[in-house]
Structure 1
Amino acid sequence: MDHRDEEARGRRIEVAAFLLPALLLFAAFTAYPVLRTFWNSLFEIRPNGNEIFVGFDNFREILTGDPVFRRAVLNTLVWSTVEPFIDVGLGLLLALALYTKVPFARFFRIAWFTPVLISTVVVAIIWSWIYNYDWGALNLMLRAIGLDGMTRAWLGDPATALPALILADSWKWVGFNMVVCLAALHSLPSEVMEAAELDNCGWWAKLCHVVVPMLRATLLNLLILAFISRMKVFDLVWVTTRGGPLWATETASTYTFKRAFEWRSFDLGYPSAIAVIWFLVVIAAVVVLTLLFRQRDRLEF
Structure 2
Amino acid sequence: MAGSTALETEAAPLERAPAIGRVSDPRRASWLVLVVFLAPALVIYLGLTAYPAFRTIFDSLFTIEGSERSYVGLANYRDLLGDETFWIAVRNTFVWAFVAPILDVATGLLLALALYAGIPFSRFFRVAWFTPVLLSYVVVAILWMWIYNYDWGVVNEGLRAAGLDALTRSWLGDPNTALAALIVTHAWKWAGFNMVVCLAAIHALPSEVLEAAELDNCGWGAKLRYVIVPMLRPTLLNLYVLAFIGKMKVFDLVWIMTGGGPLWATETVSTYVYKRAFNWNTFDLGYPSAIATVWFGVVCAAVIVLNRVFKSRDRLEY
Q: TM-score range by the shorter chain?
A: over 0.9
Check whether the contact 2:63–2:70 (CA below 8 A) recurs between aligned residues. Answer: yes
Aligned to 2:313: 297
Tell me which of 17, 27, 32 is aligned to 1:13: 32
TM-superposed deviation, 1:51: 1.0
Structure-1 separation of matches of 2:107 and 2:35: 45
5 Å-filtered alignment, 1:154-169, equals 154-169=171-186
Unaligned 5+ runs, structure 1:
none
Unaligned 5+ runs, structure 2:
1-22
Listed one character per residue, the Cα deviations across residues 249-287 of structure 1 (whole Å, up to 9, x for unaligned) are 000000000000011111000000000000000000000
Structure-1 separation of matches of 2:265 and 2:196: 32
Check whether the contact 2:251–2:268 (CA below 8 A) recurs between aligned residues. Answer: yes
Give the TM-score of the pair, scaled to structure 2.
Answer: 0.89
5 Å-filtered alignment, 1:1-301, equals 11-47=30-66, 49-62=67-80, 64-294=81-311, 296-298=312-314
TM-superposed deviation, 1:14: 2.2
Structure-1 separation of matches of 2:223 and 2:238: 21
Structure-1 separation of matches of 2:92 and 2:236: 24
Give the TM-score of the pair, scaled to structure 1.
Answer: 0.94
Q: Secondary structure at the match of 1:152?
A: coil
Moved more, 105-114 or 196-205: 196-205
Moved more, 25-34 or 266-275: 25-34
Alignment: residue pair count? 292
Moved more, 94-103 or 266-275: 94-103
Structure-2 separation of matches of 1:290 and 1:251: 24
Q: Which has the larger radius of gyration?
A: 2
Q: Which amino acid aligns with 2:313?
A: D
Q: Which amino acid aligns with 1:80?
A: A
Change (3 A) 1:58 1:88: same
Q: Which amino acid aligns with 2:76?
A: N
List, as ranges, runs of 4+ consecutive aligned residues in structure 1 with deviation greater than 3 Å. Answer: 298-301
Q: CA-atom RMSD, angstroms? A: 1.7
Structure-2 separation of matches of 1:182 and 1:298: 24
